[in-house]
Amino acid sequence: MLLASLALGVVAGVLGFAPLLYSVSLTKHVTTTSNLSHAGALLLGVGASFALTIGAMIACILIARAYVLSFVLAEALALIATALVYGIYKQVRKNRER
């Protein structure tokens, strides 16, 4: 059960990064006269990501309270690792284009 909570935490952490990816791609289509500014799009992504991660934590509390710590730690570390990998990938790709 511990391995399942770790695996599900990793999946929830990676899925929690998806709204942030969508909001970054949304900012590319925002014009300067648009009501939805760059910051607004990114804040919507952060809010959706927050809601997904908190929702997964609450579901874990309701289903398997004994494994909440391992689930939450795996989820947080997976979210951070996904963000780091995405940032490094974008930076390396940007440097190769130069």
Q: What is the mean pLDDT of residues 49-66?
A: 95
Q: What is the mean pLDDT of residues 64-93?
A: 95
Enclosing domain of residue 51? 2-97
| pLDDT class of 38 with cuts at 50, 70, 90 | confident
- pLDDT score of 36: 61
pLDDT per position as a tens digit, 74-87: 999 999 999 999 99
Cα 69 to Cα 57: distance, rounded to the nearest angstrom = 10
C-alpha distances (whole Å) from 37 to each of 20, 28, 48 are 15, 10, 17
| pLDDT class of 67 with cuts at 50, 70, 90 | very high
Cα 34 to Cα 55: distance, rounded to the nearest angstrom = 31
Question: Percentage of the chain surpassing pLDDT 90?
Answer: 72
Q: Residue 60 in contact with residue 72, Cβ under 8 Å?
A: yes
| pLDDT class of 51 with cuts at 50, 70, 90 | very high
Coil, strand or helix at 47? helix
Cα 19 to Cα 94: distance, rounded to the nearest angstrom = 22
Please tell me which residue, 97 or 57, carries the higher pLDDT value. 57
Q: How many CA atoms lie within 13 A of 21 on its CB side?
A: 13
Domain count along the chain: 1
